[in-house]
Every structure is written in C-alpha cells, then in structure tokens.
Amino acid sequence: MRCETVRDLLPDYIDQRYADRPGSAEQHAAVSAHLEDCPECTAQFVQLNRWQQLAGNWKDEPVPDWHRPGLQVRQPARTHWLSFASMATAAAALLLVLFQVHFRVDDQGLHVAFGSDQASAQLQRQMDEFQLEQTAYLDARLLDLEQQNRGLLVAFFQSQQQQRQQDMGQLVNYWQSQRIYDQTLDQAKFGLLADKQQQSQRQLRQLLNTRYPETSTEEQL
C-alpha cells in the first residue's frame, strides 16, 4: 500500500465508527502492516490519534446566560399578516384598474365590433402586453413586501439588547413610517398605471381608426 493511500485511510482507521463497514477489516490489516514499516505514516497516525484523544478530553463549558433570539419569532407571523392586508388592498386596487379597462373597452363595444381576426389578434396582443405589465408590477410589489419584512426583522433583532418596550415602540414606528412610504409609493405607481391606461386607450382608438376609418368619433363614444 502506498503512503498516499494510507494517509487517505488513516482518519477512518482511527475512527471506530468505520470498523463495521464492509471490507474495512482487510483495509485495516493493510494499513496496520504499512504502519509497521513506515515511520512517516506512523508519525501522522500518532498525531491523528493524539488529536482524536485531545478532542475527547475537552470538557464542555456551560453556556453563560444569554438573550436567546427566540422571543421575536412570533413577530414575523404578525407583521406578515399586516403586510398581507396592505398587499391585498394593493391587489384589489389593481384588479379594479384592470376591471375598469375591461369596462371601458366593453362600453366602446370593441369586443363585438372587431369582426376581423387580424385586428382582434392585434388587440388581444396589446391587451396581453398590458396584463403582463401589470403582473410584473404585482410581482415586484410582492418581492418588495418580502424585503420589507426582512428589513423589519433585522431592525428588530439589532435592537434586541435594549428593553422590549422600546423595541415594540421602534417596531411600531418602523411599521408606520414604512406604511406611509408604501402608500406614497402606491399612489405614485397607480398614477403611472393610469397614465399607461390612457396610453393603451389611445392605442386602441388608433387601432379602431385604422380598422374602421369611416367610423366617426361620435359613433364610437
């Protein structure tokens, strides 16, 4: 057996847990035989053994009193619930926007008016694009909210050395400022969405005009 192979096997050789593995008896004998003739490998073996023993001699020290980071575990569930409420509001508002789009489109009679397959397909594509945009926005919002939850948790943990009362105060403040920020952000985003909707309608109208150039604006609206 080569020294390299023996060095490979030595850590297992000194470990009783490997004694029952199939083929280990033969391996054990081969390593033992090599050790009798090889002082270098024997030195490694002695040192491995010494550390195995030293590790066994370590006397575990008791853990000093410490503030276990457990009391906050319940918090994420609670904040999650609150976040979920605001998320649901955002989602409901979005649905409303989507719904409005459909209504307006229906009012203009576009769905029934478009007999041509080509024009319908084009319209459908534009509608799909619009919907994709909104889905992406919703996904981004969900991610944001998850990040915020994390941020909230980190902020909470970092202040754990202080009194819990103070912690709760900070948590509430953080949450409230986050909510105000959220609402501002939401308003801005909904404004953007409304703009996009206007744009979409303009596109629809243009589409309509190209398909039915003879139709007057009065008839459409």
Residues interacting with another protein, by CB under 8 A?
Answer: 7-8, 11, 44, 47-48, 51-52, 54-55, 57-64, 66-71, 73-74, 76-77, 150, 153-154, 157
Size, binding site for Zn ion by CB under 5 A: 3
Rg (alpha carbons) of the chain, rounded to whole number: 35
- Residue 171 binds Zn ion, judged by CB under 5 A: no
Q: To the nearest whole angstrom, how small is the minimum distance from the Cβ of residue 67 to another protein?
A: 8
Name the residue among 208, 212, 215 with its Cα closest to residue 104. Answer: 208
Contact 114/120 with Cβ under 8 angstroms?
yes
Q: Choose among another protein, Zn ion, none what residue 38 binds, the Cβ cut-off being 5 to 8 Å by kind.
A: Zn ion
Which CB, 26 or 60, lies closer to another protein?
A: 60
- Residue 123 binds Zn ion, judged by CB under 5 A: no
Contacts of 153 by beta carbon, 8 Å cutoff, 6+ apart: 72, 75, 76, 79
- Interaction residues for Zn ion, span 16-75 (CB under 5 A): 38, 41
Which CB, 38 or 138, lies closer to Zn ion?
A: 38
Q: Which two tokens stand for residue 71?
A: 């009391």
Residue 127 CB neighbour total at 10 angstroms: 16
Q: To the nearest whole angstrom, how small is the minimum distance from the Cβ of residue 12 to Zn ion?
A: 16
Q: Choose among another protein, Zn ion, none what residue 3 binds, the Cβ cut-off being 5 to 8 Å by kind.
A: Zn ion
Q: How far is CA 163 from CA 112, 150, 157, 158, 198, in A?
A: 66, 21, 12, 12, 52
Which CB, 14 or 93, lies closer to another protein?
A: 14
What is the rounded distance in angstroms from the CA atom of residue 197 to the CA atom of residue 102? 11
Which CB, 39 or 213, lies closer to Zn ion?
A: 39
Q: Which residues of this chain interact with Zn ion, rule CB under 5 A?
A: 3, 38, 41
